[in-house]
Structure formats: C-alpha cells, structure tokens
Amino acid sequence: MKLYLDTANVQEIREVHALGVLAGVTTNPSLVAKALGEAGERFDSEAAFYARFTEIVREIAELVQAPVSAEALATDPEGMIAEGRKLAALNEHVVVKLPISEAGLRACRVLADEGVAVNMTLVFSANQALLAARAGARYVSPFLGRVDDIGWDGVELVRSIREIFDVHDLGTEIIAASVRHPQHVTAAALAGADIATVPYKVLKAMIKHPLTEIGIQRFLADWEKAKQEL
Ligand code: E4P
C-alpha cells in the first residue's frame, strides 16, 4: 500500500517528502482553508483566494513529483469539467477530485475520456465506488473515519470495494481516506487499499514505538559505558 499525505500544508509535505516514503498528496477545500488560515494569509476577493489555492497545488505537485489531488468546487457538471481542465493543466501530476454525485459522475466520464485523472471523493458505499470506477475514475476515496463516526465499519467498506474491484477486474485504485489513527493505516493495508492518505500527525505517530525509543537509548548507553571502559 502506498502512502499519501492528506494536507495542504507545504511545510508538512516538505518534511515527510524528505523521509522518502511519500507517493502522493491529497487536499480538500477544508485542508486548503486550514493551511492558509494557519499561515495567516488573508485575501480581498474570492478570485485571489482561488489563485492562491492553484498556486499551492502547483507548488506541491512540483515538490513531490507524484499525484496531487485538488478538489473542484463547482457543483454542476459543466462547471466541474471546466474547473477540472484548469486544475489538470496546472501540472501533469494534478488529479482532479470530484464528489460522487450525478454531476460528479458526468464530469468524471468527460474528464477521464480526455485523459484527466479523477479521484472520486466522499465515497461511503461500495455501490458509489463501483459507479466511480465505471465512470472512469482513476482513484476512489472511501472515507474510513467518517464511516466509523456514524457507527458503521470503514475498514469493512474498503474490504468490500477491494473484493468488487478484484472480482470485476476494475483497475481504479482505492485510496483509504479520512484516516484518523495508525491502526486505520494497518487495517486499510490488510483490507487491500492501494493507497492510504494520512494526516501529518498520523504519519509521525506511525514512525514511533516506545520499544524503539527505549532500544535506541539502551544502545547509546551501552556504547558510552563501553567507551569509558576502554
Ligand atoms: C481525503 O482525500 C480527504 O481529504 C480526507 O481524508 C478527509 O478526512 P476527514 O474526514 O478527516 O476530514
């Protein structure tokens, strides 16, 4: 399973990219708004805000040189198609994120036929994933955490989609999204997700284990002791 970072914070992406584990990035409007808010950036018009959004998407794509999902904000198919074309033109690595809906499916089919990679997002059922795949989506994003939040089983959703895609030979990649903790990552990998998109905090937590910390300290202490006895 490949690992993506689920953020629009360029600093976080730069740091994780340096670890050599990053295969892509996903953003969404909430994450972009959060990153710009945290950076204290203010805008005097929606056009200026949108221009900054596209600038960030391009910057991330140039940095990671791997798929970067950027969400179209239009809600009608024509708007989604026009916006999708513009986003895709920003950089060869840009993947257009569209919500699963009638408008999203129609736009997905048109963009996919033009060779634009689409990540169909906000997927909460296996049928939605099947529709996305049939509309030509390159990626489908089931939201594990949000499914768990309503008392259903997000990992089970990933497992069902995996089985359907395998049985019916569908090449759409499954991105386990809305990942909330390291256990979600392990479970998504075991359930057959192709990719997990992981928040910065979760990725950092995946690195750590108390026994690793203790082990490092013990090795260093033993080495120091041996040096004293030379
Ligand atoms: C996926 O592409 C989304 O950006 C993300 O995983 C949503 O996660 P959330 O449910 O934590 O907002």
**Helical residues (DSSP H) of the chain, grouped into ranges:** 10-17, 29-38, 46-64, 77-90, 102-113, 126-134, 144-149, 154-167, 182-190, 200-207, 210-228
- Tell me the C-alpha distance between 39 and 181, whole Å: 25
Q: How far is the CA of 199 from the centre of ligand 1 (A)?
A: 8
What atom in ligand 1 is closest to the CA of residue 69?
A: 2
Instruction: Kindly name the residue from 2, 34, 86, 97 that is annotated as catalytic.
Output: 97
Q: Which domain holds residue 99?
A: 2-229
The verdict on the CB of residue 178 being under 6 Å from ligand 1 is: yes
CA distances from 124 to 58, 156, 157, 178, 213 (A): 29, 11, 8, 11, 38
The verdict on the CB of residue 71 being under 6 Å from ligand 1 is: no
Residue 164 CB: number of other CB atoms within 10 A?
A: 15
Length of the chain: 230
Q: How far is the CA of 6 from the centre of ligand 1 (A)?
A: 7
Nearest CA to ligand 1 atom 8: 178
Contact 131, 168 (CB under 8 A): no
CATH assignment at residue 173: 3.20.20.70
Question: 227 catalytic, yes or no?
Answer: no
Can you give the pLDDT at residue 230? 84
Can you give the pLDDT at residue 92? 98
Contact 159, 192 (CB under 8 A): yes
Per-residue pLDDT of the chain (230 residues; tens, 9 = 90+): 999 999 999 999 999 999 999 999 999 999 999 999 999 998 999 999 999 999 999 999 999 999 999 999 999 999 999 999 999 999 999 999 999 999 999 999 999 999 999 999 999 999 999 999 999 999 999 999 999 999 999 999 999 999 999 999 999 999 999 999 999 999 999 999 999 999 999 999 999 999 999 999 999 999 999 999 98
Contact 64, 14 (CB under 8 A): no
Contact 188, 158 (CB under 8 A): yes
- Tell me the C-alpha distance between 76 and 79, whole Å: 5
Nearest CA to ligand 1 atom 10: 178
Q: How far is the CA of 176 from the centre of ligand 1 (A)?
A: 9
- pTM score: 0.96
Q: How far is the CA of 157 from the centre of ligand 1 (A)?
A: 15
The verdict on the CB of residue 7 being under 6 Å from ligand 1 is: no
Residue 131 CB: number of other CB atoms within 10 A?
A: 19
- Tell me the C-alpha distance between 13 and 6, whole Å: 9
Instruction: Indicate the number of domains in the chain.
Output: 1
CA 209 to chain centre: 24
